[in-house]
Structure 1
Amino acid sequence: MSATTGSSGKLTTALVLGIIGGVFGIISAIIAMLIGGVGAAFAAEGAGSIVGLGFAAVFVGVLGIVGGALAHGAPRTSALLLLLAGVGGFIAVSFAWLIAGPLLVIGAFLAWFGRGRSAAGPRAAPA
């Protein structure tokens, strides 16, 4: 297996993990919003903030899907978006992000390490 094939496999895995992680993230965000909505219906303290953080988690899940989709075209950008989505989801909905978070973070590392070298090669030092 050549270096190009290995990099392509990592990027493909990053793409799949980003999309799956983003979908699980959106599902987790909807569950968090549902729990917050039930809490708001019973006038529980802080339930409105859970709903707001659920909406933020939906945005972060979509960010993860976009990051996964960019894995082959722009692996550095993909790695950044996947890492932001993975960490941002934990900040927003904590325990509900338990499935999506690791998928997105692993996808970020695979996108970063699978990016390979640039086509121009290393720069020559100025004389």
Structure 2
Amino acid sequence: MKVASMVLGIVGSVFGIIAAIMAMIAGGIGGAFGASGASTVTGLGWGALAASVVGLIGSILVSGKPKAAAVLMLIGGIAGIIFVSYFYILPGILLIIPGIMSFFIKPKTDKSSQSVSM
């Protein structure tokens, strides 16, 4: 389950970076044509890029700290959807699902440190 969470998180983060760049391009094109609110779209694209980086950091942390990774992936997925909505639906889903999965990963216990009483 750790590997699945990590792979889904990385794929979601990469798609999130692509979605953020698309939002920034859309804002830039809108600004070039003088559309109102184009700078807002560009700023929200930067926010989505930051959310993708947070999700990527979370997906890297899955093997060591699964609970912290779950929180980071959930924050990244939800924040990205809030920032650029339709551009971030697929990456958001690909970050939220492994975020939920990571909550159920049990940390490995060291069997040599457990004492056995007879």
Please, what TM-score do these two structures have when normalized by structure 2?
Answer: 0.89
Match of 2:50 among 56, 59, 65: 59
Structure 1 counterpart of 2:37: 46
Q: Given residue 109 of structure 2, which amino acid in structure 1 is its aligned partner? A: A
Match of 1:101 among 92, 96, 100: 92
Structure 2 counterpart of 1:119: 109
* Residue-by-residue CA offset, 1:8-59 (whole Å, 9 max, x unaligned): xx11111011110000000000000000000001110101000000011111
Q: Distance in 1 between matches of 2:19 and 2:45?
A: 8
Structure 2 counterpart of 1:90: 81
Give 3-state SS (helix, strand or coil) of 2:73's partner.
helix
What is the CA distance between 1:119 and its match in structure 2? Answer: 2.9
Q: Distance in 2 between matches of 1:64 and 1:21?
A: 8
Q: Distance in 2 between matches of 1:13 and 1:119?
A: 21
Structure 2 counterpart of 1:73: 64
Q: Distance in 1 between matches of 2:14 and 2:54?
A: 10
Please, what TM-score do these two structures have when normalized by structure 1?
Answer: 0.83
What is the aligned-residue RMSD (CA, Å)?
A: 1.2
Q: Does 1:30 align with 2:37?
A: no
Percent sequence identity over aligned pairs: 41
Q: Distance in 2 between matches of 1:65 and 1:117?
A: 21
What is the CA distance between 1:75 and its match in structure 2? Answer: 0.2
The unaligned stretches of length 5 or more in structure 2 are 111-118
* Residue-by-residue CA offset, 1:42-80 (whole Å, 9 max, x unaligned): 110101000000011111111111100000100000000
* Residue-by-residue CA offset, 1:56-115 (whole Å, 9 max, x unaligned): 11111111111000001000000000000010000100000011000100010111112x
Q: Distance in 1 between matches of 2:5 and 2:101?
A: 6
